[in-house]
Structure 1
């Protein structure tokens, strides 16, 4: 039984939402961040980067305290207002490529995560879990929802269509050329129906936000152990964006490696020939069309790599995953990469731009070789989660990517 719970969101006033909404802090170049912080006093970046006011980098607990201060200042100035009625929120994005994503923002249960109703497919790092838990505990709010996915549900879809037939509370286009819409669902009948439909779902899957959800569970554990009688139940939940599987877009992460591990080009190709059927495609960009087919860009040429049939005897869904195959067959034994999370010789670049970025990085001599593959499917993701397995790092780049500052969950 999956939980979705309405909550009283803290939201920007309609006239300022387009100025406040921001991408994740890391997605901006330093020049982009500086421009927004210099010229937009309402950007949510001022909250998450409070040291900018003093032209100083601030970390740790001191930063957390100042984030809380900046957030409270936005509330005191009437930039953020808390909804009086517990609501669910329909959030729609039409991106620059005219892809449309529509889902519901609501509160998820930490207990669902602990009981594996909310299923995971990635490992988390304990240090990052604890750091973000401490951050949430200090600032008292969460502005980045976890992305959860579920099987298409006609009843939920019909309610969403009905609500979206009315004027959106927010409708704005960003300089990134994405258009964003938000509709609060305040009717008790619609909310009750949506809640009951989710109660009939045996599981939900995390598409993006493994560390955010794990940190929220740690926070719930801390607060549940507290003897403070004033603690409310909001800590038992965390903000999520519920979106149907059909409405997600999964891209691959391509791999780039800085050197050939001491091998010459010819020695490297011979080793590859042991496990792949190789064909030099010249300067024509090669895109894989089947699972277990890979593209490679090396020394100005594209290659197709087809995994030889004798290596296709898989014992579980993880072994059959192309990102795992690339590590087991190539990155580790041939290129000597053991730690795919921390090895400085290995880098990742998402596949939204196909292999153009891979070619550019290799041609610029930043890397020696690059590899591409097909995106992981939703069925593969669910199979990994259902079998309590975890994918290698950077196996999926999943859209949509939501803006911060549009809906905020307070503890």
Structure 2
């Protein structure tokens, strides 16, 4: 506070010496000459006059912050300081011209700074490193600063340069360019489609983030970026909305194309799997058939179990074999001596020979009671034929006793 008082006294003395009293309502006549000591930032310098060093805040111009205690370094803040250093080197002579209020709350002198009749306040705006700012009631240098800012906007300088990465126009342009680079034709290769989809999604995200930045800029908030682009915010937002729509359409188209390819590939894969399964089944069947044929060729007759012998009836117990009795000799009919021929009678008619009398019926014995038993066919005597057996013999027959067996006589 003591320094501020001394500075005010010195300034009042200088103004009195030039014929102007402190607090005069005629600011055009209020000016002092000073010498540059150093540049503090883009809109503040330190000067020396009447043996005193004072900080001077340039009127009606605001540049990005570099040394604000509550804000980060803003875009182009260092560049604005460097530019002011180019305009005002230490030791340069300048003229300070004042408006209605001579100091601000930080005890800095408020002035328009002239070098060789060039208004440095306007030069900063013309280069695009500051914007016009009205802090009432001081508006003496506002018109020339506004005119310089319009020139910078038109030329795209500094804060209005869309090729400087940190500026809002640059961020808007970058987001729009990301969408434009997607092109209008979809690639044909699957990998290129995937890259295109990823690029489109990234473009949507960037455009949305930039739009959020635009919507957050409030001209009534502190900070140069809130106030620098007021008239441009509407056009910026509309450009970003169009870019977002275009990028979202590209994402949808690309993903749809990818899905079609995926479905076609899946169908091909399933068809290939079915074909492979069918081929494998054919191969398995072929191998099974070959194995069966090989087994058939190499098969040895399997040993068959020997059939169980048919059960033989147990032999009936035979009675103790007794020597079979010798067959009784078949009694031969007693040969009767042929009767002696009778004396030949007178020739008489030949008597018809009568057939031999049939044997007596089988009654178990010969007609004389001592005959041969009546034997059956299973007891065939040697050389005899049973009377029931068919035969072509028509000659005389000699029967055994019983009348069943005969032989030619």
Structure-1-length-normalised TM-score: 0.18
More helix by share: 2
Task: Specify the structure having the higher radius of gyration (Cα).
Answer: 2
- The answer to which structure, 1 or 2, has the higher relative contact order (CA under 8 A, 6+ apart) is 1
TM-score between the two structures when normalised by the length of structure 2: 0.18
